[in-house]
Amino acid sequence: MSSRCRARLAALAALALLSACDREERQSRAQPVPETLPTPRQSILQPGVPARTAADPRARAYENNSYQMSQGQLLYQKMNCSGCHAHGGGGMGPALSDAEWRYGGSMEEIVATIDQGRPNGMPSWRGKLTEQQMWQLAAYVRSLSAQPRQDVLSSRPDAPSSTEPATLQSRQPVVPSSPAGVQGTSR
Amino acid sequence: MTGGGGLQGEQFNRLFTLFMGITGFFYVLVIVGMLAGIAIRGRAAGTERGERLARTALLGWIAAVVLGLTVLTVGSYASERRVSAAIPARPPLEVQITANQWWWDITYKNAVPANELRTANELHLPVGVPVKVTLKSNDVIHSFWIPSLAGKQDLIPGRVNDLLLLPTRTGQFRGQCAEFCGTQHAHMALDVTVEPVASFRRWQQAQLAPAAPPSTPLAQAGHDLVMSQQCASCHAIAGTPASARFGPDLTHLASRRSIAAGTLPMTRGHLYAWIADPQGVKPGNNMPYIGFDSAKLHAVVAYLQGLK
């Protein structure tokens, strides 16, 4: 095989690789997957114990999707989440950019928290936001701790901000916190 | 080229005509001179008469250029003076326009807060009254453009721009975002009405009034839905508990000419279409799919139609 032939084959192979590039789909309608009401859980919830929520197919559709995440960021500002949680660092409400989740940090658990509200100040947003908006918010809240893939994070914040863009933050390993480690019991 | 509905537009048109006339004259002059040169050159080259002719032509050319440039400079200076003389530094009317993806938030400023009027996507101006338009943006760069009245001006997040307008002719005009601002940039229009001062005052008084209370049981049910469902999280309706500022103000929604920033004409059917599936009409906009069933949809539309 001549060197030119090899070069051509290499170029063809590179072209074939391009076909593997995938473009993110933008779903502005509320129903990327059928809407079903999450069943409200009221009994088994204990602070510090990871809540057991059934896996929802929507978690995958919304997490790691930059459009949904940026819509969530818009809602985070407009619905005044930053009034209590600041821009992830926490204030009157708990921080959202650390590894501690009082009521669970999975997409489903965050949506349940937004939907139902939680003791000590977190209001229920059921009927105030659509489910789609709650999933978008959850996707953004997950991104505050740099959990999603780096390529879907925004490289610049929408508002003037002194924090580094999420793409420059390194992903920290998530250490499940022990029940004793939360709510200030061991500190 | 802008139209002749405003002072700036008229002045611009006049200047454009002057510019076209003078540059057109020079264009013809050059062509004629060149053809004449080709015709004469063969016969008069090298002779004394030819030399004289060339010198005269050069002097004439310089004089014409100087004269033309002088007329253009004076014309542009004069129209600039006309505009600045007609519009005072602090015009009697001040309107603040905030651009959002993809709609216009409009506030008529007033020293008395109770007389400050907020509306969306519809701008009314009194004819012959200078108005100062303050331009802001909430998200990305937009551009404010009413071709019939004046040129474009950008709305930049974090900055305040302004534009002075003086409408000289009554009529209905269209404004349009003139800077690409996202997927629905094309559906970001502004309905502009220039009307006599008396009818502008009437419009202003009508818009300052709180929303009309629901008049039928169906509209009452719609009112209750709008207040208790997601609508009130984003929209404001004066005189009701709904007071959020994320979405357009709905206080006098039914009195406007169009829905969703010029996307659809204001009719009952289009209101149904818009509320039933906002993403079908204007994909990507921030109004979510609520999922009202038909009974609720009837009620909500009945209420919104009463917001005259």
Q: How many helices (H) and strands (E) does chain A have?
A: 6, 0
What is the predicted pLDDT for the residue at B23?
A: 93
In a domain, B119, yes or no: yes
- Number of structural domains in chain A: 1
Span B176-200, average pLDDT? 93
pLDDT tens digits, one per residue of A72-85: 988 998 999 989 99
Span B220-242, average pLDDT? 92
Are B288 and A35 within 8 A, CB to CB? Answer: no
CA distance B269 to chain A (A): 21
pLDDT bracket for residue B3 (50, 70, 90): low
Main-chain phi, psi angles of B128, to 5 degrees: 80, 5
What is the predicted pLDDT for the residue at B224?
A: 93
What is the predicted pLDDT for the residue at B233?
A: 92
Residue B36 identity (one-letter amino acid): A
| Peptide bond just before B104 cis, omega within 30 deg | no
Statement: residue B305 has pLDDT above 90: yes
In a domain, A30, yes or no: no
In a domain, A136, yes or no: yes
What ipTM was assigned to the predicted interfaces of this complex?
A: 0.78
In chain B, the percentage of residues whose pLDDT exceeds 70 is 97
Asked whether residue B107 falls in the same domain as residue B194, the answer is: yes
> B131 by DSSP, 3-state: which?
strand
Q: Lowest mean pLDDT of A8-17, A55-64, A108-117, B43-52, name the range.
A: B43-52
In a domain, B293, yes or no: yes
Q: Which is more confident, B217 or A156?
A: B217
CA A110 centroid distance within chain: 9
Q: Which residue of B has its CA nearest to A29?
A: B279
Span B99-106, average pLDDT? 93
pLDDT bracket for residue B1 (50, 70, 90): very low
Statement: residue A183 has pLDDT above 50: no
What is the predicted pLDDT for the residue at B227?
A: 92
Averaged pLDDT score across all residues of chain B: 90
Query: Using an 8 Å Cβ cutoff, are B6 and B149 in contact?
Result: yes
Asked whether residue B15 falls in the same domain as residue B100, the answer is: no
In a domain, B181, yes or no: yes
Are B233 and A74 within 8 A, CB to CB? Answer: no
Asked whether residue B76 falls in the same domain as residue B156, the answer is: no
Asked whether residue B111 falls in the same domain as residue B174, the answer is: yes
Asked whether residue B102 falls in the same domain as residue B188, the answer is: yes
What is the predicted pLDDT for the residue at A34?
A: 45
Mutate to test the interface with A, among B101, B286, B290, B292 (most CBs of A within 10 A): B286
Q: Which is more confident, B17 or A47?
A: B17
Q: Which is more confident, A1 or B52?
A: B52
What is the predicted pLDDT for the residue at A33?
A: 44
In a domain, B76, yes or no: yes
In chain B, the percentage of residues whose pLDDT exceeds 90 is 61
Are A28 and B228 within 8 A, CB to CB? Answer: no
In a domain, B1, yes or no: no
Q: Could you tell me which of A93, B224, B14 has the C-alpha nearest to residue B3? A: B14
Domain of residue B176, residue span: 93-208
Query: Using an 8 Å Cβ cutoff, are A135 and A58 in contact?
Result: yes
Please report, for residues A57, A58, B74, B305, the alpha-carbon distance to residue A35 in angstroms, rounded to integers and kept in the order given: 10, 9, 68, 29
A147 Cβ neighbours under 8 A, 6+ residues apart = A63, A171, A174
What is the predicted pLDDT for the residue at A180?
A: 45
pLDDT tens digits, one per residue of B235-244: 999 999 998 9
Determine how many CB atoms are found less than 10 A away from the CB of residue A22. Answer: 6
Kindly write down the DSSP assignment for every residue of A68-104, as one continuous string.
HHHHHHHHHHHTTTHHHHTTTT-SSSPPSSSS--TT-
Residues of B in contact with A128 (CB under 8 A): 230, 233
pLDDT tens digits, one per residue of B83-95: 888 878 788 899 9
Span A52-66, average pLDDT? 81
- Number of structural domains in chain B: 3
Residues of B in contact with A26 (CB under 8 A): 284
Residues recorded for chain A: 187
What is the predicted pLDDT for the residue at B114?
A: 87
Distance CA B126, CA B199 (A): 8
In a domain, A34, yes or no: no
pLDDT tens digits, one per residue of B130-163: 999 999 998 889 999 998 888 899 999 889 998 8
Span A146-167, average pLDDT? 70
Span A165-170, average pLDDT? 70
Residues of B in contact with A28 (CB under 8 A): 279, 283-285
Please report, for residues A65, A151, A186, B272, the alpha-carbon distance to residue A143 in angstroms, rounded to integers and kept in the order given: 10, 12, 28, 36
pLDDT bracket for residue A53 (50, 70, 90): low
Q: Which of B177, B208, B239 finishes a domain?
A: B208
What is the predicted pLDDT for the residue at A149?
A: 81
In a domain, A46, yes or no: no
Domain of residue A138, residue span: 60-151
In a domain, B2, yes or no: no
Domain of residue B200, CATH code? 2.60.40.420
Q: Which of B86, B108, B134 finishes a domain?
A: B86
Span A106-118, average pLDDT? 90
Residues of B in contact with A31 (CB under 8 A): 289
A160 CB near a chain B CB, below 8 Å?
Answer: yes
pLDDT bracket for residue A2 (50, 70, 90): confident
B208 Cβ neighbours under 8 A, 6+ residues apart = B115, B117
Statement: residue A51 has pLDDT above 60: no
Number of cross-chain residue pairs from A and B with Cβ atoms under 8 Å apart:
39
Mutate to test the interface with B, among A31, A67, A78 (most CBs of B within 10 A): A78
Q: Could you tell me which of A131, A106, A104, A123 has the C-alpha nearest to residue A45? A: A104
Span A20-45, average pLDDT? 61
Distance CA A107, CA A96 (A): 13
Domain of residue A82, CATH code? 1.10.760.10
pLDDT bracket for residue A184 (50, 70, 90): very low
pLDDT bracket for residue A31 (50, 70, 90): low
